[in-house]
């Protein structure tokens, strides 16, 4: 297995305005609902969504109750346009710092979302990252696409 980290690239069009998508990345309650892949729960321990602010959260496998935590720092926040942050796992077997860039572009049907996750530790298979993100993005769509006016 290579010791080099992976780069994960995702693309999705969501039927929601960019402002709502952006908010889903920075609201602790929303993030805990949509970010963990199927079969996991999440807890946000700390969240200060300002440039230079940090966050800390954990995912717990509902089947075996194993948990892993990670945190990071917000590097760039442009409302409705871009979120850039770092991720660092607490587990010393998953070293390094992941750089995540979320780019939002308004399109005729909603928002085009492009996510690039750089320097994912080699110990994590790339296909697991893709599968997890695909599940997370399904949950994100279920959260932000409904228009509820009451």
pLDDT tens digits for 76-100? 999 999 999 999 999 988 889 999 9
What confidence score (pLDDT) does residue 93 get? 87
CA of residue 74 relative to chain centroid, distance:
12
Residue 50: per-residue pLDDT: 98
The reported pLDDT for the residue numbered 2 is 44
Per residue, what are the HEC states of 74-110? EEEEECCCEEEEEEEECCCCCCCCEEEEEEEEEECCE
State the pLDDT confidence band at 4, using cuts at 50, 70 and 90.
Answer: low
Query: Does the pTM exceed 0.85?
Result: yes
Q: What is the chain's mean pLDDT, rounded?
A: 95
Which phi and psi (to 5°) does residue 108 adopt? -60, -30
């Amino acid at each position: 297995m290579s010791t080099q980290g992976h780069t994960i690239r995702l693309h999705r069009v969501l039927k929601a305005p960019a402002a709502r998508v952006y908010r889903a990345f920075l609201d602790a309650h929303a993030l805990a609902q949509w970010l963990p892949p199927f079969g996991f729960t999440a807890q946000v321990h700390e969240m200060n969504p300002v440039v230079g602010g940090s966050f800390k959260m954990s995912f717990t496998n509902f089947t075996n109750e194993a948990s892993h935590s990670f945190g990071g720092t917000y590097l760039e926040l442009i409302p409705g346009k871009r979120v850039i942050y770092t991720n660092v796992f607490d587990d010393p077997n998953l070293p390094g710092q992941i750089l995540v860039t979320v780019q939002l572009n308004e399109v005729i049907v909603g928002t085009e979302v492009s996510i690039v996750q750089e320097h994912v530790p080699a110990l994590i298979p790339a296909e697991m990252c893709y599968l997890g993100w695909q599940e997370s993005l399904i949950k994100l769509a279920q959260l932000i696409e409904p228009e509820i006016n009451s």
